Amino acid sequence: MTAEVRTVEEWTKPLPQLDGVSTEYWQAASEGRLLIQQCPKCGHKQWYPRALCTACAADPEWLECSGRGEIHTFTVVRQYGAKPFRDELPYVIAMVQLEEGPMIMGAVTDIDPDAVRIGMAVEVYFVKAADDVGIPYWRPV
Protein backbone atom coordinates (compact mmCIF):
# COMPACT_ATOMS: atom_id res chain seq x y z
CA MET A 1 0.00 0.00 0.00
CA THR A 2 1.04 3.58 -0.49
CA ALA A 3 -0.94 6.03 1.58
CA GLU A 4 -1.43 9.75 1.16
CA VAL A 5 1.56 11.89 2.11
CA ARG A 6 0.56 15.42 3.07
CA THR A 7 2.98 18.29 3.11
CA VAL A 8 3.09 21.22 5.52
CA GLU A 9 4.70 24.60 5.10
CA GLU A 10 6.87 24.21 8.16
CA TRP A 11 7.16 21.29 10.58
CA THR A 12 7.31 22.76 14.09
CA LYS A 13 6.87 19.57 16.13
CA PRO A 14 9.61 17.31 17.49
CA LEU A 15 11.48 15.24 14.89
CA PRO A 16 12.93 11.74 15.32
CA GLN A 17 16.69 11.40 15.72
CA LEU A 18 17.40 8.84 13.02
CA ASP A 19 19.35 5.81 14.19
CA GLY A 20 20.56 2.51 12.79
CA VAL A 21 17.10 0.98 12.76
CA SER A 22 14.71 3.92 12.55
CA THR A 23 16.20 5.51 9.41
CA GLU A 24 14.47 3.03 7.11
CA TYR A 25 11.19 3.29 9.02
CA TRP A 26 10.99 7.07 8.72
CA GLN A 27 12.17 7.02 5.10
CA ALA A 28 9.42 4.53 4.16
CA ALA A 29 6.86 6.68 5.96
CA SER A 30 7.98 9.72 3.99
CA GLU A 31 7.09 7.68 0.87
CA GLY A 32 3.66 6.67 2.18
CA ARG A 33 4.54 3.18 3.45
CA LEU A 34 4.00 1.98 7.03
CA LEU A 35 6.54 -0.58 8.20
CA ILE A 36 6.53 -2.89 11.19
CA GLN A 37 8.87 -5.81 11.75
CA GLN A 38 8.38 -9.55 11.50
CA CYS A 39 10.76 -12.23 12.70
CA PRO A 40 11.83 -14.77 10.03
CA LYS A 41 12.58 -17.32 12.76
CA CYS A 42 9.53 -17.22 15.03
CA GLY A 43 7.01 -15.05 13.16
CA HIS A 44 6.66 -12.48 15.95
CA LYS A 45 5.56 -9.03 14.76
CA GLN A 46 6.55 -5.83 16.54
CA TRP A 47 6.34 -2.03 16.59
CA TYR A 48 8.44 0.06 17.21
CA PRO A 49 11.27 -1.32 15.09
CA ARG A 50 14.26 -2.73 16.94
CA ALA A 51 17.57 -4.41 16.21
CA LEU A 52 16.24 -7.72 17.50
CA CYS A 53 13.07 -9.76 17.70
CA THR A 54 11.82 -9.25 21.28
CA ALA A 55 10.41 -12.78 21.32
CA CYS A 56 13.44 -14.82 20.26
CA ALA A 57 16.34 -12.37 19.78
CA ALA A 58 16.78 -13.13 16.06
CA ASP A 59 17.26 -10.39 13.45
CA PRO A 60 13.81 -9.11 12.42
CA GLU A 61 12.77 -8.21 8.87
CA TRP A 62 10.59 -5.36 7.64
CA LEU A 63 6.92 -5.99 6.93
CA GLU A 64 4.86 -3.48 4.98
CA CYS A 65 1.43 -2.93 6.55
CA SER A 66 -1.99 -2.46 5.01
CA GLY A 67 -2.28 0.85 6.83
CA ARG A 68 -5.61 -0.11 8.38
CA GLY A 69 -6.50 -0.76 11.97
CA GLU A 70 -8.88 0.08 14.77
CA ILE A 71 -8.65 2.32 17.80
CA HIS A 72 -7.68 0.27 20.86
CA THR A 73 -7.71 3.19 23.27
CA PHE A 74 -7.38 6.97 23.05
CA THR A 75 -7.55 10.25 24.88
CA VAL A 76 -8.55 13.77 23.95
CA VAL A 77 -5.78 16.07 25.13
CA ARG A 78 -7.44 19.30 26.31
CA GLN A 79 -4.54 20.94 28.15
CA TYR A 80 -0.91 21.14 27.02
CA GLY A 81 1.63 23.72 28.06
CA ALA A 82 3.99 23.96 25.09
CA LYS A 83 3.66 25.19 21.53
CA PRO A 84 2.81 24.11 18.91
CA PHE A 85 0.51 21.55 20.54
CA ARG A 86 -1.04 24.18 22.79
CA ASP A 87 -2.42 25.91 19.71
CA GLU A 88 -4.04 22.73 18.37
CA LEU A 89 -6.08 21.73 21.45
CA PRO A 90 -8.16 19.65 21.71
CA TYR A 91 -6.59 16.74 19.81
CA VAL A 92 -6.75 12.97 19.89
CA ILE A 93 -3.90 10.60 20.83
CA ALA A 94 -4.62 6.93 20.22
CA MET A 95 -3.23 3.45 20.25
CA VAL A 96 -4.20 1.81 16.96
CA GLN A 97 -4.32 -1.96 16.69
CA LEU A 98 -3.03 -2.75 13.21
CA GLU A 99 -4.65 -5.40 11.01
CA GLU A 100 -1.32 -7.19 11.24
CA GLY A 101 -1.59 -7.37 15.05
CA PRO A 102 0.78 -4.98 16.80
CA MET A 103 -0.33 -1.68 18.32
CA ILE A 104 1.07 1.66 17.19
CA MET A 105 0.74 5.09 18.73
CA GLY A 106 -0.54 7.98 16.67
CA ALA A 107 -2.81 10.97 16.46
CA VAL A 108 -6.32 10.74 15.00
CA THR A 109 -7.39 13.66 12.82
CA ASP A 110 -10.08 14.57 10.29
CA ILE A 111 -12.79 13.94 12.91
CA ASP A 112 -14.46 15.83 15.77
CA PRO A 113 -12.49 14.67 18.86
CA ASP A 114 -15.74 14.07 20.72
CA ALA A 115 -16.83 11.57 18.05
CA VAL A 116 -13.83 9.25 18.45
CA ARG A 117 -14.65 5.82 19.90
CA ILE A 118 -12.74 2.68 20.82
CA GLY A 119 -13.14 0.13 18.03
CA MET A 120 -13.43 2.76 15.31
CA ALA A 121 -11.82 1.74 12.00
CA VAL A 122 -9.00 4.03 10.93
CA GLU A 123 -6.43 4.28 8.14
CA VAL A 124 -2.99 5.76 8.03
CA TYR A 125 -1.76 8.83 6.21
CA PHE A 126 1.53 10.58 6.57
CA VAL A 127 2.75 14.12 7.04
CA LYS A 128 6.12 14.89 5.53
CA ALA A 129 8.13 16.39 8.39
CA ALA A 130 11.55 16.38 6.67
CA ASP A 131 13.04 15.00 3.44
CA ASP A 132 13.60 11.62 5.04
CA VAL A 133 10.86 11.64 7.66
CA GLY A 134 7.15 10.98 7.37
CA ILE A 135 5.00 10.98 10.51
CA PRO A 136 2.08 8.49 10.57
CA TYR A 137 -1.37 9.89 11.39
CA TRP A 138 -4.76 8.20 11.43
CA ARG A 139 -8.21 9.14 10.15
CA PRO A 140 -11.58 7.39 10.09
CA VAL A 141 -12.09 5.03 7.15
Task: Using CB under 5 A, list all residues that contact Zn ion.
Answer: 39, 41-42, 44, 53, 55-56, 58
For residues 16 and 140, which CB has a smaller minimum distance to other proteins in the complex? 16
Question: What are the distances in angstroms from CA 47 to CA 7, 34, 89, 125?
Answer: 25, 11, 27, 17
Phi, psi of 99 (to 5 degrees): -55, -35
The CB-of-20 to Zn ion minimum distance in angstroms stands at 19
Tell me the per-residue interface mask from 79 to 118 with other proteins, x by CB under 8 A, - otherwise.
Answer: xxxxxxxx-x--x-xxx-------xxxxx----------x
Q: Which is nearer to Zn ion, 55 or 63 (CB)?
A: 55
- Between residues 72 and 139, which has the closer beta carbon with respect to other proteins? 72
